[in-house]
Structure formats: structure tokens, C-alpha cells
Amino acid sequence: MAESSKNVSSYFACNVFNQTVMRERLPKDVFKAVMQTKKMGTSLGSNIANVVANAMKDWAVEKGATHYTHWFHPMTGVTAEKHDSFLTHNSDGTIILEFSGKELIKGEPDASSFPSGGLRATFEARGYTAWDPTSDAFIKDGTLYIPTAFCSYTGEILDKKTPLLRSMDVVSEQALRILRLFGNTTATRVLPTAGAEQEYFLVDKTLFDQREDLLITGRTLFGAKPPKGQELEDHYFGNIKERVSAYMHELDEELWKLGIPAKTKHNEVAPAQHELAPVFETANIAADHNQLTMELMKKIALKHDLVCLLHEKPFAGVNGSGKHNNWSLSSNDGQNLLDPGDTPTENTQFLTFLCAFIKAVHKYSDLLRLSAASAGNDHRLGANEAPPAIVSMFIGDELQAILDALENDTKAEVNSKTKFKIGVDALPSFNKDNTDRNRTSPMAFTGNKFEFRMLGSADSISCTNVMMNTMVADVLCEFADELEGAEDFNTALKELLVRTYKEHKAVIFNGNGYSDEWVKEATETRGLPNYISTVDCLPRYLDEKNVSMFEKFKVYSKVEIASRTEILLENYTKVINIEALTMLDMAKKQIYPAVMEYTKEVCNTLASIKAVGIENAAQEKLANKLSSSLGCLDSAVKELEQSLIDAKDTDNVYELSQFYRNEVFAKMQALRAIADELETIVSEKYWPFPVYSDLLFKV
Ligand code: ADP
Ligand code: MG
């Protein structure tokens, strides 16, 4: 029976080895031990792992699986997997299916072919993967997938999951210290939660295949603006075309089978652009699920003769795609720590977490910015598109009024009934409509969580969440150190909050983040950094304050940060290099011939017109224009080629990335401008690939 005719709850998570399956299949004590591990992040003994592995294998085999894989998140940005079958030889030569606790807990892929940014030279090439029991195993395409972390043998982390898990422990520990100060004795773990809204484009597969740039780089490197873009604003939330709807439907079903709580789907601002939002989950699970979502988005599109583009800027002049990382902290006794709550104590506790967050964002805005930095996302951040490259925070007028009143020891003009112990008015209850009006802020408070809007659509959410968790932990730790030793808690708390707000409110901005005035005010008056590009912000990773924070909490060592910075910068230059080569290929092999063909046709017409004595024909002007533009195209090609040759003189990754940004990328823009102009004058009969209106409007 097609899933579509079944009740969703009958197949939701049917391919996941989750709590329900474990309760059915594991002995009680083993089940309890696994649940304890999942809740507290503690490790699991080897005899327990054996029982779990065996049950997992039996379950997977019953569902038709033949292989298992340790599934991990190397620094490539995509996931990696190596499949092993369950087959083992018996001593009598027969075959049995086996899966041991050892195999569940640890795998040993060769680490040498994954980016390690210099770590490989210094340390061992061998790497291992370690099971992350907090994220459920699942079956996909006949294989049992085991979510894992990936490290080198000497312990250096080589992936995106390990630091995330570490940062989750760190923020839990510090948040608990604050909860204890407010008299909470029940919570034993605080988990960051994340909900990743995912934007994407769908284009027709046949058209996609005709564009080398889309095929190789995921974005159009050429393309004149179509007569119609998004100016009519008729796509956002518009009704969904049948073909797209069928795609979304199948995507939802496949996600649900993997236990991924896909919730919202709609058309986005740009033509052919859409969005999917899941229900939030614990940060590491949300990160795993977002990777799977992106993978399935691409895979299922092909079944519908569509291609899903996750690039941040597939089309120039049309909105790009981002990813919003909604984030909060949730305690295992059921509180959302960014929910203002109903009682004065809850309110004060909320204000404490809020002020910690404000300080963290102000102090570590460079880390947030660089967590969203990539060649693709440079086309959005700092390029007059949502959101700006300056990290600021939107908290809304009401909340700001409360903090101002706290600072000035006055009464806030908000409708509140109760008074805080520390002498400010209680917070009004927030509803989303009150707080989420600002769409231009990179970090917006939306009632009970913060929404970070800088991420690019293709990014993993791991890095951002590592930053959020660690920087918030850092400030909570300072708060706890100060408050734990205080003589009078309420006096000390008020003094701390007022001081924090005073020192860090420069990061709060409730106005229009897209305006030029804001850039001026932010950088000149408020001293907020404005890192326009990836190459400007990535080196900040190694700033003393950042290194000492990560080392203090043992999330990254300095060597690991240096290696990550290198990997990311290397990736940047490689991406631009591939794009430049693709442009050259298309210009020389496709655009030149097309322009020449058309010029020939125009010249032929011109000759026959001249033959009958007509002078000053439009054909003559056109032929001249075509010929001079082709000359310009040729010069631009030569300049781009030269810049790629010049790039070979540098091998320092920092200098090289600057060179790619300032020289190569600039030459690419120049080449594009000429080609795009040619597109508008060359007959479509000769133009060698589908144009923007085909791609954007023919789904
Ligand atoms: P909008 O488009 O207005 O930003 P959506 O409803 O599309 O709103 O997305 C909101 C996202 O925030 C969803 O993924 C939702 O699950 C997530 N979210 C809600 N509460 C929390 C929370 N406490 N922690 C993390 N994410 C949350
Ligand atoms: Mg959003």
C-alpha cells in the first residue's frame, strides 16, 4: 500500500531503531542503561553494547538490511559512510549474520582522505568513528546507519559532530549552575534544541543538464536577469504547483519514515524557491536530521525529473537560499530556558539567560559570522541580501523596555502585573506576532527561542550550534562564578544584569538591518564588526579570546581551530577555482561559438541588404556590437586565465584566499557582465544553454 494512503503515525520513524523498538527488543536492564546514556550522554559498557548491537542487527535484517555503516560528518560539509555487510564465516564455512558491540561502538575508516587542515601531517593518519548513542540508528537503502563521531587516533577531532557533542555537555553544565542558583533541584541536564528551516530551489532536470555551471558548481555562473523576477511578490506562500506538491509529498513521507519531523512546507520569495521546516529537536539530532533532509531533498527530486539546488545563490539577482537555525535551551525537567514563563522567578531566570545570550552574541559575534561563512554564502551576507553581514540582535520593543527599565531603575511601560524580586516589572507574555516582526535581523528573539538567520542553505548547522553552545556556556560560567559567591543573591544578580546590559546592549538593534544607515551606525558608532566576506572573517577564528574560550571548555584545541580555519579557507579557494575554470570552459566552448554563429548570420543578412543598396542598416550596428563584445569577452577570458596563473605564486592559504577573493572573483564578475550582455542580444536560437526564465519558470 502506498504510504500516502496510510495514517502518518503508522509509519512515522518505521525505519528508526528508537526508544519504542528498544523497549520491545532489549532486556529491561539494557534498555534502562541505553536510556540513561541517551539522556545524560554517559558511556555504555561493552557487554551492554553487545546486546544492543545484536538486537539492532536482528531488527535491521528483518527489515531487509544487509549492511551497516558508521555514518559521520567530516569537514567536507557532506556526510560520509562506508558500508560493511553483516556476513561472517562460521568455523564450518557456512555464513552467519553478525554484528558485535565492538563494531557498533567503533569503526576504523582511513582518515587520510578527509580534509584535516594540517592535522594529518602532525598526527596519525588513522582515524576512528565512535557511536553517538544519543542519535538513533536508522535504515536507509538496505543499510543500517549508525550516527557516529570521527576522530584521529591521537584524539584530534576530524568532524563536525564531536565538537557539537562536547559543546552540548559544556552548556549543560554551566546552565545547571545557574538553575541551581534559582533554587532548581530537579533538572540534571540542559540540552540545546535546534530547528533548521531549510530553503531550496527546484529546477527541471532536462534544463539543468544543459548547464555545465549548474552541474559542476550548483549555481549559474552566467545568466542575464529575466524580464520577470520576484518583483510581483507572487510566489511567497503562493499555491504550490502539482509537480512540486508531488515532490514535497514524497519528501515528507521519506523524512517521516526516518523519524524526521518535517512540519511546514511552502513556496519562498523567489520563483522556484521553497522551504521546509521541521519540529525542533536536540541540537545533535537536529544536525543529523538536517543532513539527511538535504540528502533526501536532492535524491527525491531526481525521481520527479527535478533537481534540488541547495546552493546559497543559484541565480544572480534573485533571492538566495538560507537556513534559519532556531535555538533554545531546554532542561530535562521540562523548562524552555528562553521562555519568559509566568512567575516572577521564572521571569528573572529568563532575564538572566537573556542577558547571558546578549553578552555572548556581542562578545563572540565574529564566531557566529564565521560559522556561516562560505564562498556560496558570500553572495548573500554582505551583498545586499538577507541578512546583513553585521551580527546584531533583535529582541523587540517590549523586552527592550524591560531591560531599559532595569538599567535605569524605572518602571517599564508594558502591561505587567507582578514585580520581580530584583525590582523590575514582570514580563508580559509574548506571542510570536509581537516579537517576530523583524525579518532583517540576523539573530531574532521569537518569543521563546532565538532564530539565527545567517546560515547558508548548504551549511551544516553543527558549527553554528557549537558556537552558540560554547559562547553561552562561557558567559553562564562567568555569571555563575560571580553569583555563587555573592552575599545577597538578588542584589548581586541585579547588579550583574544591569552591568551586562549596559556593556553589551550595543549589539541590540530592532530596526531595519538592510539599510545603509545601519551599516554606518553599527560600524562607526557601535563598533560592531562588518566582515563582508569569508576571507575577512575566517582568520578571526584564531583570535586569542576565541581560542582561550574553546580551550577553557575543551571544545577545540588551538591546533584544531587552526586546522579548521585552514580547511575552510582551502575550501573557499577551491570553490572559486572550480567556478573560474567552469566559466572559462563555458565561455570558450559554448559562448564564443554561439556569438560567432549569430554574427555570421547577421553579417550574411547585412551583405544581402547592402547588395540591394540599403545603407546604415540596423544589421550593421548589431554586427559591430557583436564583434566588439566578443573582443571584450576574449580580453576578460584572458584576464581570468592570467589571474589563475598568478594564483600559483602563493601557497600561504590566507594570502591565497585573499587573492581569490580580490583578483580571481573580480575577474569572474567582469567576464560574466560581458557574457550576460551578449545573452540579451544574441538570438535564442544560438544561445547555448537555457536562460533564467526557462530555469525559474518551467517547473
Ligand atoms: P518562521 O518561518 O516564522 O521562522 P517556522 O514555524 O517556519 O517559523 O519555524 C520555526 C522553527 O523554530 C521550527 O523549526 C520550530 O520547530 C523551531 N522551534 C520552535 N521552538 C523551538 C525551540 N524551543 N528551540 C529550537 N527551535 C525551536
Ligand atoms: Mg524563520
Query: What number does the ligand 1 atom closest to the CA of 194 have?
Result: 25
Question: Mind listing the pLDDT tens digit for each residue in 443-483?
Answer: 999 989 999 999 999 999 999 999 999 999 999 999 999 99
Phi/psi-derived region of residue 225, left when phi > 0, alpha when psi is between -120 and 50, beta in every other case? beta
- Asked if residues 153 and 32 have their Cβ atoms less than 8 Å apart, the reply is no
- Centre of ligand 1 from the C-alpha of residue 435, in Å: 13
- Asked if residues 458 and 374 have their Cβ atoms less than 8 Å apart, the reply is yes
Distance in Å from the first CA to the final CA of the chain: 29
pTM of the model: 0.94
Q: Ligand 1 pocket test: which of 267, 433, 449 has the largest number of ligand atoms within 8 Å of its C-beta?
A: 449
Query: What number does the ligand 1 atom closest to the CA of 339 have?
Result: 23
- Centre of ligand 2 from the C-alpha of residue 320, in Å: 14
Inform me whether the pLDDT recorded for 396 exceeds 60.
yes
Banded model confidence at residue 432, pLDDT cuts 50, 70, 90:
very low
Q: How far apart are CA 337 and CA 190, in angstroms?
A: 9
Banded model confidence at residue 436, pLDDT cuts 50, 70, 90:
low
- The whole-number average pLDDT for the span 482-492 is 95
Residues 6+ apart with CB under 8 A from 406: 351, 422, 424, 494, 497, 498, 501
Question: Mind listing the pLDDT tens digit for each residue in 372-395?
Answer: 999 999 999 977 676 789 999 999
- Centre of ligand 2 from the C-alpha of residue 437, in Å: 11
- The whole-number average pLDDT for the span 585-603 is 97
- Asked if residues 56 and 104 have their Cβ atoms less than 8 Å apart, the reply is yes
- Centre of ligand 2 from the C-alpha of residue 667, in Å: 35
User: What pLDDT was estimated at residue 237?
Assistant: 75
Question: Mind listing the pLDDT tens digit for each residue in 547-579?
Answer: 999 999 999 999 999 999 999 999 999 999 999
Does the Cβ of 335 fall within 6 Å of ligand 1? no
Does the Cβ of 325 fall within 6 Å of ligand 1? no
Q: How far apart are CA 284 and CA 172, in angstroms?
A: 14
Does the Cβ of 448 fall within 6 Å of ligand 1? yes
Does the Cβ of 444 fall within 6 Å of ligand 1? no
Question: Mind listing the pLDDT tens digit for each residue in 493-539?
Answer: 999 999 999 999 999 998 888 888 999 999 999 999 999 999 999 99
Does the Cβ of 195 fall within 6 Å of ligand 1? yes
Q: How far apart are CA 13 and CA 257, in angstroms?
A: 4
Does the Cβ of 449 fall within 6 Å of ligand 1? yes
Banded model confidence at residue 418, pLDDT cuts 50, 70, 90:
very low
Inform me whether the pLDDT recorded for 641 exceeds 50.
yes
Banded model confidence at residue 282, pLDDT cuts 50, 70, 90:
very high
